Amino acid sequence: MIISLHIHKCAGSSFLNYLGRSYGNHTVSQVEQGFGCDTNIYKMLQNIKSTSTVFHGHIRTQPWFDLFSPEKNIYITWIREPLKRIISEYYYIHEYEYHYKTFPRWEEYFSNKDNIPFEDYCFLPGTQNFISDHFNVNGINDLHRFRFVGVTDYFDKELLYLSRNVLRVNTDRVPVMNKNKNISNKLLEEVNSVVNDSNFIEKFKSHHQLDYEFYNYALKGHATRFKS
């Protein structure tokens, strides 16, 4: 069984497209656990166990590891440089505000949207270490149990390696989905003015330290795969 953990704004939609092309859309089930981790998640997973061989969605590791051993199944995820990820997320929630207003994680932001600029958004409780928050049992030790941890920044190259050496499937080039297309000049100027400040970068990396540990782990895997 293939289980794909989709971290928001880390090419998850593109990878879902790839899974559908490679295995057939009818064999791929999207699972959206959310972050309430309600007690029915185990029952839900047991019910869908026999319906598909490929699962993809915004999930946390604990219930999956409890029910589906990483040693007997193929766990996959993608990780993006944390600042690039949160920039993309910031643009995305502005573009699709109507959708994200209902998500508890963004409730604080949208309730004070006019008073929370990008720099403050980066330090909201709901955005801190968002990548590592998916691995809610043993932290980075959970990541060690994944068969493949791709680096979104090298998506095409990594996907080709995954296809040939892990999943053993043929695939054509997969278009990148959900690119931010309608970014206003005001937003661009706001974000650029912040990220060009070295003091902000230092503060951001400190605040999202766990996410950078996860990202560096993914980078080491990438370097090992493509060492000359």
pTM for the whole structure: 0.88
Mean pLDDT of the chain: 85
CATH code of the region 2-225: 3.40.50
Place of tokens 């004070």: 112
- Residue 65 makes CB contacts below 8 A (sequence gap 6+) with 137, 142, 145
Average pLDDT over residues 132-146: 83
Per-residue confidence at 37, pLDDT binned at 50, 70, 90? very low
Q: Which residue ranges make up each domain of the chain? A: 2-225
Whether 125 has a pLDDT exceeding 90, the answer reads no
Tens of pLDDT, residues 89-123: 888 887 776 556 556 666 666 666 666 789 999 99
**pLDDT > 80? residue 139:** no
